[in-house]
Structure 1
C-alpha cells in the first residue's frame, strides 16, 4: 500500500472527524474503544499467556460441563486490554462460545488522542489550529504504528496462538468442527487472511501477502471454519476474492477506511467464486460502531446491537 493511502485507511485515523457530543459536553469519536463502557461494567474473563503472548480468555458460565465452540476474536487497534473489547468478547461467551482474544500488537496498541472541547458551534481560530495539529500528529503516529504491525509481524503471532489454542482447548475446537473467528477494524483483515489459502512463507511472516510467491511454494489451508467481520480496515478486494470459508461482512456506508468501491468489487469476486457470504451495509453510523460501548446516540446503540446479532447468528449457523 502506498504511503499516501495509509493515513486514510488507518484504524482510528478519522477520530477527529466522526465525533458526537455526550451529555457532559465531552467530544468523543465513533471509533472502536473510544466510547465509555457501561458504568460499573466489569469483564468476566482473564488475561493469560499463550506462547508468551497476552491473551484474553472468556468462557461460557457452564463450560466445561456443557460443550462449547472456540471463537478467535481479533480486535481493532485498541487491543486486548481495552475494557470494551473484553466486554465484547464476554457477550460472545454468554452465547456459548469459548473466546480467545490475542494481543495482535505485542503490547503496542494504536496511539490515541483524546480531545476535550466545548460544544461550540464555531471553534476559535486557536482551537482550530490545535485540533489541526493534533490531527496531523495523530495521523503520523498511526502511520508509524501501522508500519510496525504488518502481516509479517501479526500472522506469525496468530499462528502461535492458534497452535496453543488447539492444544489447550481441543474439546471446544473439536466440538465446533474447527475454529470460528470474528474481527473488528484492524482485526477484520486477519480473519480474511486466516480464512484463505496462504503460502507457507506468508503464514510464517517471511513475505507480505501482496508480494509474488516463489514457484512451487507450499500453501497452508484455511485456519478457520467460518468468519464474521465488522468495518474492516486495509482490506482489498483481493482479500475477499481469496477467501475459502463462509463469511459475514458488516460494513458502513461511505466509510473511507473500507471504501464502497473496494467492498463492492470484493462482493462481486465472492459471488463469482460462489463463496457463501452475507453482507449488510449500515448507514448513518460511524466506523467502529459495531464494537461494544456506552453509546449516547440511540441510533448507533441500536445498530451496534443489530450488528452483533447478525454476526452471532452467522457464527451459530455455521
Structure 2
C-alpha cells in the first residue's frame, strides 16, 4: 500500500471566507453548517477545500449508459487485472477537481474507478457546473450575502430533488453499462465495489442492501404470490465516509460488508442513527466496521488541503481504512 498523499498547507478558499460571517457555530469540530436552519448538508459537503498546488486530475470524462462519468484507470490496466470501484461523491459532484483526484488516488492503488454524475446535470447552486443564467437569483443572493434562510432554501430545495428514486436509477444505468464495458474488472473483483462520501455515502449504503422496488424506482413491482419484489445488493462491499441524510430505515436489508468512517459529534450522521445501524448490521451478521475520528470536520475524508496537521493525518488514516476494507473483500 502506498502512502496516501495529504495536504501540506491550507489557506481558506474564497467561498469559505465569503460565508464565514453568515454561518452559525457548529458542534462539529472545525466545521460550519451551510446556513442557519439547514442541517441536511454541512459546509464541507458543498464546498471544496483548496486543491493542492500543481496537482490535477489524470482520468477522463466520458459516458456510460448515457450518463456523464469520470473514469480513472490504473497505469498498468488492462495488462494487469483490476477491480471495478464505483465512487459516489458529495454535493460538489462530478466536476470537482478534488473528487476527481480522490478517484485517481484509488486508481493508483489498482482500482478502475468510475465516478458518475449522480445529479444528472442538476448541480448544487454555487458548485463548479452550476450556470448563473439558469437561476441568477441564487448567485446574486450569494454574492450579496443575503439572509441565511435564502441560502438554506436554495440548498434544501436542491437536496429535496436528490431522492433515492431519482438518483439510484442514474447510478444503476452506469453500473449496468460498466458491467459490459469493464466486464474483466467486474469479474476479477467478483462484483462491483463502492466508496461513498457524504451524500454518496447514503447511496452506497442503499446499494449494499436488498430493497423493494419502491426504493429504487418509486413504484412497487408486485408478484401476486411473492408480494413486493426486492432487488439488490448491487455491490460486493462498500466503504462510507461521513454519510449524510441517512435514516434508520436505510440500513434495513443490508447484505454487503460495509466500513464506516465517522466523525465524533457529527450532527449530519447522528449517534442515534449510527448506533441503530451498527446494532442492526451486527444482529444480522453483516460484516461491518465503524471507526470514529475526533477533532475533525464532517467531510474531512474528501481530498483537499488542511492547515491542521491532525486533520491531515486523519484524512490519510481514513483513506487507508477504506482502502484496506476494499482490499480485504
Deviations 1:51-78 (A, max 9, x none): 2211000000000000000000000000
2:123 corresponds to 1:109: yes
2:77 corresponds to 1:63: yes
Structure-1 residue corresponding to 2:296: 285
Conserved 8 A contact 1:295-1:301: yes
Deviations 1:103-155 (A, max 9, x none): 00012222349xxxxxxxxxxxxxxxx86x44322211111001211111101
CA RMSD of aligned residues (A): 2.6
CA distance in 2, matches of 1:63, 1:161: 20
Structure-1 residue corresponding to 2:58: 44
After TM superposition, the score normalised by the length of structure 2 is 0.79
Aligned length: 279
- 1:16-95 superposed matches below 5 A: 16=23, 17=25, 30-31=44-45, 33-95=47-109
After TM superposition, the score normalised by the length of structure 1 is 0.82
Structure-1 residue corresponding to 2:267: 256
Please state how far the C-alpha of 1:30 moved relative to its aligned partner: 4.2
Structure 1 unmatched ranges of 5 or more: 1-11, 22-28, 114-129, 208-213
Conserved 8 A contact 1:155-1:205: no
Conserved 8 A contact 1:33-1:293: no
Identify the range of structure 1 (237-246 vs 227-236) with the bigger mean alpha-carbon deviation. 237-246
CA distance in 2, matches of 1:225, 1:31: 26
Conserved 8 A contact 2:248-2:277: yes
Corresponding residue SS for 1:292: coil
- 1:197-208 superposed matches below 5 A: 197-206=210-219
Structure 1 runs, 4 residues or longer, greater than 6 Å off: 12-15
Structure-2 residue corresponding to 1:166: 179
Structure-2 residue corresponding to 1:193: 206
Structure-2 residue corresponding to 1:155: 168
CA distance in 1, matches of 2:303, 2:251: 25
1:79–1:188 CA distance, 2 compared to 1 (3 A): same
Structure-2 residue corresponding to 1:127: none
Structure 2 unmatched ranges of 5 or more: 1-15, 32-42, 128-143
